[in-house]
Structure formats: structure tokens, C-alpha cells
Amino acid sequence: MPLPDGDQPWPPKHLAPVYSQIATWAAWYSGDPEALAAIYGGSQGYDSTGFFASERGGWRGAVGRAIERWFWGTRLSQGEQRTKLHLPAASDIASTSADLLFSEAPTLTVEDKATQARLAELAGDGMQAALLEAAEIAAGLGSVYLRTVWDTEARPDGPWLTGVHPDAVVPEWSWGELAAATLWRVLRDDGRTVVRHLERHNPGRITHGVYEGTPEKLGRPAPLTEYPETASIDGLSDGNVVETGVPKLLIEYVPNIKPNRLWRNVPTAAPFGRADIAGTEPLMDALDEAWTSWMRDLRLAKARLVVPRAYLQSNGPGRGAGFDVDKELYEALDMLPGDDTGAQITLVQFAIRVEEHAKTVEALWSSIVRACGYSVQTFGELGDAGAGVTATEIRARQRRSFMTAGKKVRYWRPRLASSIETLLMVDAAVFGSRITPVRPQVEFGDSIAEDPRTTAETLSLLETARAISTEMKVRAQHPDWEGPEVAAEVARIKAEQAMSELTDPATFRGNPPADPAEE
């Protein structure tokens, strides 16, 4: 299929509800007060997607002004300084979600030895960092796309994976599966003219296009060579086509979690996932209000002195008057003895409601975390595990978090396996690697490491019961080791044990132990 017609609205109107909701989640995830004020209060000058303009209808026109009853929906009075504060709950939750999935690199296994060796080269720290980033995007915005890319000049050692934000892709579905996708980015934007780069993915080929349009319209096509960002695209043929040599899409859609309750009756949006914070927006709004109120108490509770007018020193005509709080001696004032009309220095300092605010913030935070599918202990709240707590006890306390992570693994595993297969295909087709591209087995790591002391005690008990071999003990102690490393360590252990037996008087044949009966 060709690139879209330049006269059409962009982004496409059928994705308006999706992009609008993603923009809302993005505002919470980014923690930008201006974005939150724009969405809920209609602040002028902020419009990241074109679907919720501040005073031009769109998303706000559909929702109306009911959200102005929210904390972030109240507008500032003329000349009032912004004092609203934001707690980054959404970003904290998204980051923790990514850590639960990819704090340890997933294990990728194929049967062919040459392919396994090449996969180990491609799947280094860079891939784990990309997966961590992609998982955080998915948790914050509801989904992410995994794309296989390459550049023979910039990185001649092979292809790699990147994460693409969901509001930068126009997907096409077939029975809930991704059939084609158009990625887009803005190259230039001066407020009137917007230059966009579109990258359409079909099985076996990628078609590129540059369009010069307006904030609402895609506009007319322009040559790729007119812009440096597209002039040097690797592998172009026929002007704007890249033949991938791979009979499948180079991009995979990974939903964060399903179903999306907001779009269950919207056919064009049904395949999309939902963000972790979906449905908790009112709670996060209340959390920001409680935190701002707490900080307002601190601000208002600053000590202030109320002094009589006679105590003030003039700063000159038109410059007002001031009071020197460090002055120790004052001139005699003309006032009656015992005058109680207020001619005294009065200290004004309000109480800070620390306990009330702390309990409110804690209750709201706990409610948000539970609604997102996690345990508060995962975030270091309510009794952190000490050094003596085992990994089993940690899992028991954080069971809800691991259940949520387990759900997400079921969405990630097949998409990641397909992306790795695509990566190997591109490596063979573009870089000429002598491998057999296959779909690997993907095993996710354990995000809670066992305490070394607990591991040692467990292995000791198993050894006493004669229920474990030396090789299995080494593998339990070093789960990341390969076969040769394990075999070498087992050989060293056996050699040391044999040496200790030779030097132990109780076991050395030339020096048998004394018989107590002979003494």
C-alpha cells in the first residue's frame, strides 16, 4: 500500500480518541505542570498532539468544563503566581514496572550454536537498555512498538532494537494483529508550516516520504533529499523505498496490559493497551492537591512580625517603609503607657498540619499504587525488608506486583521473540551473517535476587541431606554462568577437596587417628 494522501488530516481523525487519551497519560507521565494545566484547565499555548487545543474545541470541546472542578482544572486569577506542585507518581510507577520486567536481561536461547553466538553479540547491554526504556514507555503510555533498525555506516556491527512511542505510529490491524504501520515524526514546525517524515512499514519493504503541510493537514510531498534527516537513509532504492529482504514487518506492537476499558466499544481502538495509571487520574489529581496544600502550610507558616506604623523607617518618597528586625535599640515613641491599641511587636506564625497531610498523602498514594496493580512494598513503603528477609518473604509481601508483572510478561514474550527473529533476519540479509534466523526461547529474569546468606544455608541443608551435586550447587550460586564456566568451577572445587583430604590428619592414611581405648 502507498503512503497516505497529503490532503488528509494528520494525525488521522479515526485515532483522535486514542491520541487524546495518550496525551493525557503523557502529561501525567512526564510530570509537566504546563501539560496538566493545558489538559484540565485549558491553558493557552500548549498542544502536543493537535487533539486537545486549549481554546479551539477538540478534546476540551468534547469533555467540556466539568474537569475544571479538578485541582489541575482550576484557572489562575489574573496576576496570580502558580503554586501548584506535582508528585511524579505516574513516572515512578512506570519506572518500577520496567524494573520488574527487565532489571535482569532476558535469556534468549536458540539451538544452532553459530546463531546463539551471534545472538549473544547482538543482545548486549544496549538491548537491555532499549528494553527497559520500551517497557517504561509502555507502562506510562499504554503500549510501545519494537522496531528493528540498522545503519551500516553508523553501526556496522549489526542491527538493533528501538522503542517507538505509541502516539508516533498509525497502525493498521488485521484480526487484532499488526498488518502495517506508518511511523511519523516532525522535522520542522514554525507554527504555520509543519514538515513531517513518514515511514510506512509493509512486509518486505519500508517506504519513506516527506510532507510539507500545516498543523492540521499532512500537505504536499517533498523530495527526501531536501532535508538532511532523510537524505542519507540507508538502503534507499526507487527514490524512497528500502527493500528489507525480510518477509515480515520490522515492527511489533506490544500492549502494556489489556483490556482497555475506555475503548471497548471503539473498533479502531480495541487492539490498544492501557497505561498502568488508567482510571487513577482523579486520585493523582487529589494527591497533587494534598501535596500542594502541605507545601502551602509551610509557606504560610513562615514567622512574620506585625509592628506599629511608628516602628517603620521611611525609605524615601514613593519607596514605602521598612522594619529592621536586627535593630536592638529604638528611639522613644510617642505613645501612651500601657497602650493596647496594637503598638506592640506581634509574632504571627501558623501551625503546620504535618500529620494530617502526611496521612492523606500516604492514603492517596497507597490507593493509586493498588489501583495500578502493585503492592506498596514494591516502592519501599510500609516496612522495607531488612537484611534477614528472604526472597520468598519479599515475594509474599509484593505478590500483587509480581502478578501484574507476570501478566505483562505474557504480552512481552511473544512480541520480543518475534522481534529477535526479525533482528536475526535483518542481520543475515543486510550484514551477511552466516546464521540461521529462528525464533528464540525467551525467559525473563527474576527481579528479586536471593540473599547470599539464604542461598548458602539452603545449599548447605541440601548437601547435608545428600540431595544436590556439586555442579547444581555451582549453578545455583552462579545462574548466569555457561557450561564451561560451571565445569571449570566444579573441577576447582573437587581439586581443593582432594587436597584438603590429603592434608587432614583425620583422613591421611600414613597418620591414622589414635584409638581412645589404647590411651
Give the number of other Cβ atoms within 10 Å of residue 409's Cβ.
16
Question: pLDDT tens digits for 401-434?
Answer: 989 999 999 999 999 999 999 999 999 999 999 9
What is the structure's pLDDT at 48? 40
Residue where the block lists cell 528586625: 325
Question: pLDDT tens digits for 323-333?
Answer: 665 655 555 55
Mean pLDDT of the region 123-129:
90
Q: What is the 3-state secondary structure (H, E, C) of 91-107?
A: HHHHHHHHHHHHCCCCE
CA distance 200 to 184: 9
What is the structure's pLDDT at 382? 55
Q: Is the residue at 336 inside a domain?
A: yes
Cα 386-390-392 angle, rounded to 5 deg: 130
For the chain, what is the domain count?
2
What is the structure's pLDDT at 70? 81
Contacts of 108 (CB under 8 A, 6+ apart): 119, 123, 420, 440, 441, 442
Give the number of other Cβ atoms within 10 Å of residue 7's Cβ.
11
Q: Is the residue at 471 inside a domain?
A: yes
Higher pLDDT, 341 or 505: 505
**DSSP string computed for 132-166:** HHHHHHHHHHSEEEEEEEEETTTEEEEEEEEEE-G
What is the structure's pLDDT at 419? 97
What is the structure's pLDDT at 69? 67
Residue 321 domain boundaries = 303-348
Q: Is the residue at 439 inside a domain?
A: no
**pLDDT of residue 248 exceeding 90:** yes
Q: Is the residue at 494 inside a domain?
A: yes
Find, among 154, 143, 218, 150, the residue nearest to 186 by Cα.
218
Find, among 215, 277, 285, the residue nearest to 48 by Cα.
215
What is the structure's pLDDT at 17? 86
Pairing type for strands 251-255 and 313-314 reads unpaired
| Sheet bearing 251-255, strands edge to edge | 155-164, 143-151, 251-255
What is the structure's pLDDT at 56? 34
Question: What band does 234 get if pLDDT is binned at 50, 70 and 90?
Answer: confident
Question: pLDDT tens digits for 340-391?
Answer: 554 566 766 677 888 999 999 999 999 999 999 999 988 876 554 444 555 5
What is the structure's pLDDT at 346? 72
DSSP 41: H
What is the structure's pLDDT at 483? 82
Q: Is the residue at 328 inside a domain?
A: yes
Q: Which of 112-121, 225-234, 250-259, 337-346 bottoms out in mean pLDDT, i.e. has the lowest?
A: 337-346
What is the structure's pLDDT at 37? 87
Residue 436, phi then psi, degrees to nearest 5: -110, 100
Question: pLDDT tens digits for 37-61?
Answer: 888 875 433 444 443 333 333 334 3
What is the structure's pLDDT at 496? 84
CA distance 208 to 197: 7
Question: pLDDT tens digits for 143-183?
Answer: 999 999 999 888 999 999 999 999 999 999 998 899 999 99
Residue where the block lists cell 519493504: 205
pTM of the model: 0.77
Higher pLDDT, 280 or 472: 280
Q: Is the residue at 497 inside a domain?
A: yes
Under a CB-based contact definition with an 8 Å cutoff, are residues 196 and 210 in contact?
A: yes
What is the structure's pLDDT at 64? 43
Q: Is the residue at 477 inside a domain?
A: yes
DSSP 14: G
What is the structure's pLDDT at 268? 79
Q: Is the residue at 498 inside a domain?
A: yes
